[in-house]
Amino acid sequence: MVRVEPAWIDTHVHLDRYQGAERDAMVALAKVAGVAIVAVAVDLASSRVVAGLEGVAGCAVGVHPLRATGWAGEALRDLARMPGVVAIGECGFDGAGPDGAVQASAFRGQCELAREAGLPVILHIHGAGAWERLVEDADALSGLTVVRHYFTGDARQAEWHAERGHFVSFGRPLLREPGLQAVCRGYPAGLILVETDSYPLAGRTTEPRDVVEVGEATGGLRGWTPEEARERLYRNSLAAFPGLRFG
Ligand SMILES: [Zn+2]
């Protein structure tokens, strides 16, 4: 049988949040659309699930800042060694999360883990004060491959990431927000990724196959043909997550 590499990669999906037939249908539809999935965890329990998921190109194990209280570094260290794990995350800072010291400890611990395991780190930065906290603790990222997931920041934040060689990943907000479109036009071409951040939410129908729309919009903003956008974003995804496997 010929192995066909998927054309598009949704770099951020909470696939473990869907069950049974719904999950199977989502994976099947993504496959038909030529979309491969990176499944991302938010805590220890979901890390265990994503590490065992079939039908994905890779997964990320980690602890979301909203769930940082009592995070378990040792258990995560064991999971990070499992086959199919391509990143640590999502981790970072959230304005609605536990106090700053707790979030910083989980963030710094996961950066250390990423360094040990030779894996990239997926950053979640959201809400009041989250960006300032990241800047304060940015030394923890030094030497790591960094992916700023679901980028909705401003031009100043984008510049900060670009200077450090970080990847930024755009979701559907790119389709409607002029500020993000401007960031996408100017960001280093080799450091752009796309994602849907799919998870079950009442009234939201986004699923992994929708990443095609985001990828083509990226192409439109950059002056790339859809084919070129697909190839470039595919290469970028492999550069960000060298452990991705298809088949
Ligand atoms: Zn997420």
The rounded Å distance from CA 107 to ligand 1 centre is 15
> Rounded distance, CA 95 to CA 13, Å?
22
Whole-number CA gyration radius for the chain = 17
Which amino acid, residue 149?
H
The rounded Å distance from CA 13 to ligand 1 centre is 7
Q: What is the pLDDT of residue 4?
A: 56
The rounded Å distance from CA 90 to ligand 1 centre is 6
Q: What is the pLDDT of residue 7?
A: 85
Q: Which element (helix H / strand E) includes 92?
A: strand 85-94
Q: What is the pLDDT of residue 68?
A: 96
Spatial contact of 59 and 51, defined as CB atoms under 8 Å apart = yes
- Listed as own residue / partner, the contacts of 220-225 with beta carbons closer than 8 Å and 24 or more positions apart are 221/174, 221/181, 221/184, 221/185, 222/184, 222/185, 222/189
Q: How is 149-206 classified by DSSP, letter by letter?
A: -S----HHHHHHHHHTT-EEEE-GGGGT-HHHHHHHHHS-GGGEEE---B--BTTB--
pLDDT tens digit at each of 247 positions of the chain:
455 566 899 999 999 999 999 999 999 999 999 999 999 999 999 999 999 998 999 999 999 999 999 888 899 999 999 999 999 999 999 999 999 999 999 999 999 999 999 999 999 999 999 999 999 999 999 999 999 999 999 999 999 999 999 999 999 999 999 999 999 999 999 999 999 999 999 998 999 999 999 999 999 999 999 999 999 999 999 999 999 998 7
Q: Which two three-digit tokens encode residue 135?
A: 């800047």
The rounded Å distance from CA 1 to ligand 1 centre is 34
> Rounded distance, CA 74 to CA 150, Å?
28
Q: What is the pLDDT of residue 186?
A: 98
Residue 190, CA distances (Å) to 24, 238, 241 in order: 32, 11, 13
The rounded Å distance from CA 70 to ligand 1 centre is 20
Spatial contact of 234 and 188, defined as CB atoms under 8 Å apart = no
> Rounded distance, CA 143 to CA 145, Å?
7
Q: Scan for tokens 């997964």, then name that residue.
A: 59
Sign for the CA dihedral angle at 45, 50, 52, 53 comes to positive
The rounded Å distance from CA 40 to ligand 1 centre is 7
Q: What is the pLDDT of residue 1?
A: 46
Q: What is the pLDDT of residue 60?
A: 98
Q: What is the pLDDT of residue 38?
A: 98
The rounded Å distance from CA 230 to ligand 1 centre is 22
Angle formed by the axes of helices 155-163 and 178-186, nearest 10°: 20
Q: What is the pLDDT of residue 6?
A: 63
Which amino acid, residue 23?
R
